[in-house]
Amino acid sequence: MTYRYSKDHIGTQHYDEFFRNLDAHGWKTAMDRLMTLQDIIKPQKISMFLSDQRRNDFIFLLPLGEESVVLDYGSGWGNTTFTLAPYCKQVVAMEADHGRLRFSAAHFAHRGVYNVTPVRSGNALSLPFRDNSFDAVIMNGVLEWTPRSINGPPEEVHKQVLTEVRRVLKSNGTLQISIENRFGYAYLLGKRDHHCGGLRWAPFLPRPLANLYSWLWLRQPYRTWFYSYGRLREVISGAGFGDTQIYSYFHNHVRYSHMYLLDDEANVSRKAHEILANQRVTWKDRLAYRLGCRLRQFRWIAQDFMVVTKKN
Amino acid sequence: MPRNVNLRSTKRHVLLEVMAGDRPVCIVKYPRAQEESFLRNEAETLDWLHHAGLCTGPVSTPRLIGQGVAFNRIYLIQDFAEGEVPARLEENEAPAIALVDWLADVMSKAREEGTLTGTVQRMLDRVLPKYPAVEAVKRPTEAVAGRYRPVLMHGDLSYQNLLVRDGAVSLIDWEYARADGIPMADVLDFLLYDLYRDTKDYGAAVRGLFSGNRPQHWALLKRYCRAGGISDDDIRPLFQLFVLSKLDLLVRLSAPRAEQKAKELLEALSESPHESLQAQRDPA
């Protein structure tokens, strides 16, 4: 199955050119030339992927220590790995895309980060690590993509992937997942879903209908599933995790100024009040926070989730 | 695993709000890189404010509960300050008056003896090589520096660092505070930021304050000066000193868009309070 990639995809030829420039002219020139690929990816986005530390502030909600060994699952260009490295003993940056992994390895070397091990993983259902290897596993915007490379019903795939992650976690180890909400208010109000070619409405349609919609428009099945608040809890507990806390972000898991516990509606109401009073918000945010808090059911329409859970 | 914790992410810090039941009880403030000296400064200042009896009342500051080191970086634990960023001053005059009176009170409890001469000289030494236009204000600022004691200065008193609830004001983020601050600087910061919210133009904010177009703001400035024993003749040189301190901060911190900010500040230096005009408009 060939999937359409989002605009942000940088092809092998661009990575090859980057590495030629890196060898010939050094990091700065290679990066400057990569930044000129504006038809593929905006320079602001490259710097965000590479060096925006604020998107990784969620790590402060994780029980990490100087002796922690952490797996950054789906490390991409290594942004989260960079943030984690000073706070941990060892970080394993695992990425399936060879170009991204080479790029991040070069970036680690350029920045002098030596407690990171880049690993290429071919099979999410058979991770190349021993049982009980990690104190924490970070899956930041990764889980929803896994059914695109693994056959089977997406929910089953998610459970299998999580079960495999559970295997490599130490006893009482922590799993972090960032994932969108199927009924996120931005999707309900017409935001395009970048996971599936920018289709509107697809996340919250009944799955068979979303699949049909995706086949008609994109000639590919709809497999990048997200879940509602309740279903996400079930999927996670079904894979053998417990003591689950779910947070949400304002605005979303890429750019946020607030993270708050969704499990407590009183807390959500207080934070919503603070956000609406002090932050620049759109009419969509205002509508969603006001309505969700009035009904005391904001958790069902929060845009993104961050899950922190423990291996049972 | 932390329980009942919310997170706030700002440019300079990561803030963890620790909850007890459904109420936040304290904030753990963790700096991003290169911010440690500022956080130490904040800790010292909050401690001093507490011992000077200035952290409670209608205008309060968070109380420092503790500090520690994690991953080679200092962090602070403070009381949780509740409130919202205030609306514009026109709609929120009572807290603004309370704040100005409090700042005058702080001025009367200076931490350091002597005059501002040394501080101003150091500022001039740093700023003059980069911004020679400051030469024009060298003499008046040196003269006024000899007449005033250093005061505790918040250093970043924008509306974003004020939280208001039920008429009570909390002043947060004291990391730019300095014991050898300039009288009137915090009040100017507060009033000019308030005007800046409307115009997004610093020069226009300065003109608005000193031209008499914003009598409410001018009245607050005069109220502070009266309470702090600042004569009308000293308003202009103290304003110039305030601009000098801002330029000094730009030189020291290499802030983003520093050149643009410096240009606006240097333009602002040419502004002056029109006393005769104010005398007609300000009945006090």
C-beta separation of B115 from B146 below 8 A:
yes
Omega before A251 within 30 of 0, i.e. cis: yes
Of B6, B9, B10, the CB nearest to A267: B6
pLDDT higher for A214 or B270? Answer: A214
Q: What is the pLDDT of residue A279?
A: 80
Tell me the residue type at B80.
Answer: F
CB-based contact B4:A261 (threshold 8 Å)? yes
How many structural domains does chain B have?
2
Q: What is the pLDDT of residue A128?
A: 92
For residues A141 and A253, the answer to whether their CB atoms sit within 8 Å is yes
Are residues A259 and B14, on separate chains, in Cβ contact within 8 Å?
Answer: no
Select from B1, B3, B85, B91 the residue whose CB has the most chain A CBs within 10 Å, as the one to mutate to test that interface.
Answer: B1
- Residue A260 and residue B6: Cβ atoms within 8 Å? yes
Evaluate if residue A180 carries a pLDDT over 90.
yes
Task: Please name which of A303, A297, A311, A312 lies closest in space to residue A263, comparing C-alpha atoms.
Answer: A297
CATH code, domain carrying B213: 3.90.1200
Query: Could you say which of B79, B99, B119 is where a domain stops?
Result: B79
State whether B105 and B236 are in the same domain.
Answer: yes
> Using 50, 70 and 90 to split pLDDT, how confident is the model at B240?
confident
Region of poorest pLDDT, from B150-164, B196-210, B229-243: B196-210
Reported ipTM: 0.86
Tell if the CB–CB gap between A57 and B7 is shorter than 8 Å. Answer: yes
Do B265 and B202 belong together in one domain? yes
Q: Which residue of A has its CA nearest to B1?
A: A63
Measured between alpha carbons, how far is B175 from A28 in angstroms, rounded to an integer? Answer: 34
Per-residue confidence (pLDDT) for residue B163, from 0 to 100: 87
Span B182-186, average pLDDT: 90
For tokens 């530390």, the residue is A53
Domain A56-267+300-311: give its CATH code.
3.40.50.150
Of B2, B5, B32, the CB nearest to A53: B32
pLDDT confidence bin for A145, thresholds 50/70/90:
very high
| CB spacing of A277 vs B84 below 8 angstroms | yes
Residue A115 near residue A91, CB atoms below 8 Å? yes
Chain A residues with beta carbon closer than 8 angstroms to that of B71: 66, 86-87
Q: What are A303's two structure tokens? A: 């845009």
Q: Is the pLDDT of residue B99 over 50?
A: yes
Helical residues (DSSP H) of B133-184, grouped into ranges = 138-145
Reply yes or no on whether the pLDDT at A5 is more than 50: no
Option in A60, A256, A258 nearest B30 (CB): A60
**Interface probe with A: pick from B4, B7, B85, most Cβ of A within 10 Å:** B7
Q: What is the mean pLDDT of residues A243-267?
A: 90
H/E run at residue B9: strand B5-9
Q: Are residues B208 and B165 in the same domain?
A: yes
Please tell me the distance from the alpha carbon of residue B98 to that of residue B177, in angstroms, as a whole number. 20
Q: Clarify whether residues B13 and B134 are in a common domain.
A: no
Do the Cβ atoms of A261 and B5 come within 8 Å? yes
> Taking CB atoms and an 8 Å cutoff, what residues of chain B touch A62?
1
Place of tokens 């969620």: A58
> Given this model, what pLDDT does residue B166 score?
83
Q: Are residues B127 and B208 in the same domain?
A: yes
Within 8 A of A66 by CB-CB distance, chain B residues are 71
In a shared domain, residues B55 and B161: no
CA distances, B238 to each of A97, A167, B121, B174 (Å): 60, 67, 14, 22
Chain B residues in contact with chain A using a Cβ-Cβ cutoff of 8 Å:
1-11, 14, 16, 19, 22, 30, 32, 71, 84-85
Which element (helix H / strand E) includes A180?
Answer: strand A169-180
User: What whole-number distance in Å separates Cα of residue A86 and Cα of residue B86?
Assistant: 38
User: Do A259 and B22 make contact, defined as CB atoms within 8 angstroms?
Assistant: no
Confidence class of residue B273 from pLDDT cuts 50, 70 and 90? low
User: What percentage of chain A exceeds 70 in pLDDT?
Assistant: 92
CA dihedral in degrees (A116, A119, A123, A129; nearest 10)?
-60
pLDDT of residue B284: 46
Which pLDDT does position B282 carry in this prediction? 53
| pLDDT higher than 80, residue B262 | no
User: Are A278 and B30 within 8 A, CB to CB?
Assistant: no
Distance CA A252, CA A255 (A): 6
> Could you give the 3-state DSSP secondary structure of residue B136?
helix
Which positions in chain B touch A266 (Cβ < 8 Å)?
Answer: 22
pLDDT at residue number B276: 43
When pLDDT is averaged across residues B223-243 and rounded to a whole number, the result is 87
User: Which residue range(s) make up the domain with B30?
Assistant: 5-79
* Mean pLDDT over each residue of chain A, to the nearest integer: 88
Q: The CATH number of the domain where B69 resides is what?
A: 3.30.200.20
Domain ranges of chain A: 56-267+300-311
| CA triple A281-A285-A287, angle to 5 deg | 120
Residues B130 and B39 in one domain: no
Q: Is residue B84 part of a domain?
A: no
- What are the helix (H) ranges across chain B? 36-51, 93-108, 117-127, 138-145, 185-199, 202-210, 215-228, 235-253, 258-269, 275-281
Residues B97 and B71 in one domain: no
Chain A with chain B: Cβ pairs closer than 8 A: 59
Task: Please check whether residue A234 touches B, CB under 8 A.
Answer: no
pLDDT digits (tens, 9 = 90+) for A22-41: 888 888 888 888 777 656 66
Query: Is the CB of B8 less than 8 angstroms away from the CB of A258?
Result: yes
- DSSP helix/strand/coil, A280: coil
Q: Is there a contact between A57 and B84 if contact means CB atoms under 8 Å apart?
A: no
What pLDDT, on the 0 to 100 scale, is given for residue B269?
A: 65
Dig out the tokens for B284 from the structure. 């006090």
Tell me: pLDDT of B281 over 90. no
- Environment class of residue B63 by beta-carbon count within 10 Å: exposed (0-12), middle (13-18) or buried (19+)? middle
Residue A1 forms contact with B (CB below 8 Å): no
Give the residue from A59, A61, A111, A176 with the most B CB atoms within 10 Å of its CB, the best one to mutate.
A61
How large is the average pLDDT for residues A137-158? 93
User: Hey, what amino acid is at B136?
Assistant: A
**Is a pLDDT exceeding 90 seen at residue B193?**
no
| B145 and B249, same domain (yes or no) | yes
**Is pLDDT at A44 greater than 80 in this prediction?**
no
Residue B277 lies in a domain: yes
What does the DSSP assignment read for B242-276?
Answer: HHHHHHHHHHHHT-TTHHHHHHHHHHHHT----HH
pLDDT in tens, B23-58: 888 999 988 876 677 888 889 899 888 888 887 778
Name the residue with higher pLDDT: B271 or B131. Answer: B131
Q: Which residues of chain B neighbour A252 with C-beta distances below 8 Å? A: none
Residues B121 and B215 in one domain: yes
Maximum average pLDDT range among A180-189, B118-127, B267-276: A180-189
Q: Evaluate whether A195 touches A181 at the Cβ level (below 8 Å).
A: no
- Closest residue in chain A to residue B29, using alpha carbons only: A60
Distance CA A138, CA A131 (A): 17
What is the spatial distance between Cα B218 and Cα B75, in angstroms, rounded to a whole number?
39
The closest alpha carbon to A249, from A93, A141, A165, belongs to: A141
Within this chain, do residues B75 and B97 fall inside the same structural domain, yes or no?
no
Q: Give pLDDT, residue B256.
A: 65
Where does chain A have alpha helices with state H?
12-25, 27-35, 43-51, 79-84, 98-111, 154-168, 185-188, 207-218, 229-238, 265-278, 283-294
Residues B59 and B175 placed together within one structural domain of the fold: no
User: Residue B67 domain-assigned?
Assistant: yes
Q: pLDDT tens for residues A205-254? A: 999 999 999 999 999 999 999 999 999 999 999 999 999 999 999 988 88
| pLDDT surpassing 70 at residue B272 | no
Place of tokens 């960032």: A178
- Report pLDDT for A137: 97
Asked if residues A259 and A249 have their Cβ atoms less than 8 Å apart, the reply is yes
What pLDDT score was predicted for residue B34? 62
Counting every residue, how long is chain B? 284
Task: Give the pLDDT score at A48.
Answer: 65
Q: In angstroms, what separates the C-alpha of A242 from chain B's closest C-alpha?
A: 12
- pLDDT at residue number B278: 52
Residues A94-136 have pLDDT tens digits of 998 888 888 889 888 888 888 999 999 878 889 999 999 999 9
